[in-house]
């Protein structure tokens, strides 16, 4: 029997490799914890070790960490993929097929903010459809709280706002 932590790492690599967009740690956790493959802390350890080994590339956007697989991760997965039980691979493939739209959509709308050199905060809001940038809007506001609120509201109301803008501008 192989080391369980190795199996969890392979499962994570397999998941990230099966999609053509980044997955968040939360999305990976949802699947693995729902299937009760391991605990949250063990999963975080596996992801951390994959990042440290250069097999996953993390990108933090506000409160989410997006994970993409590196070439080294792909090579490792190619070599060891057969160590993942066929039933687990089937579970992953089914999950990704069923949830692809919602997983992709979760990442297509992003809001992040930062402190500008002027001392104000800038909230950058984007929406994509596949690889097409639909909107890229930056708003300057005086406080961090306002910038955070704008980003939160963008996540909740982006479709309404986009419709309003296109209706008014076209």
Ordered by start, the domain boundaries in the chain are 4-107, 108-169
Instruction: Report the C-alpha gap between 137 and 113 in whole angstroms.
Output: 11
Q: Render pLDDT for 118-130 as a digit per residue (tens, 0 to 9).
A: 999 999 999 887 6
- Looking at domain 4-107, its CATH class is mainly alpha
Residue 141 has pLDDT above 90, yes or no: yes
114, 62 in Cβ contact below 8 A?
no
Q: How deeply is 13 buried, as exposed, middle or buried, from its count of CB atoms within 10 A (0-12, 13-18, 19+)? A: buried
Contacts of 51 (CB under 8 A, 6+ apart): 57, 58
pLDDT for residue 36 is more than 80: yes
Say whether pLDDT at 47 is over 50. yes
Per-residue confidence (pLDDT) for residue 1, from 0 to 100: 43
- Of 35, 103, 118, which is closest to residue 66 (Cα–Cα)? 103
Question: What is the pLDDT, as a whole number, of residue 62?
Answer: 62
Does residue 88 register a pLDDT over 60?
yes
């Amino acid at each position: 029997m192989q080391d369980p932590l190795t199996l969890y790492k392979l499962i994570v690599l397999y998941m990230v490799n099966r999609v053509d967009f980044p997955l968040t740690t939360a999305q990976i956790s949802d699947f693995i914890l729902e299937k009760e493959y391991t605990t949250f802390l063990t999963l975080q350890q596996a992801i951390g070790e994959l990042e440290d080994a250069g097999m996953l590339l993390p990108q933090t956007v506000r409160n989410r960490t997006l994970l993409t697989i590196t070439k080294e991760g792909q090579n490792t997965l190619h070599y060891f993929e057969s160590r993942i039980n066929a039933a687990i691979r089937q579970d992953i493939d089914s999950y990704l097929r069923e949830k692809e739209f919602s997983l992709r959509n979760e990442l297509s709308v992003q809001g992040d903010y930062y402190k500008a050199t002027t001392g104000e905060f800038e909230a950058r809001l984007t929406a994509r459809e596949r690889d097409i940038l639909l909107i890229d809007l930056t708003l300057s506001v005086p406080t961090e709280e306002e910038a955070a609120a704008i980003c939160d509201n963008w996540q909740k109301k982006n479709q309404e706002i986009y419709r309003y803008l296109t209706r008014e501008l076209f």
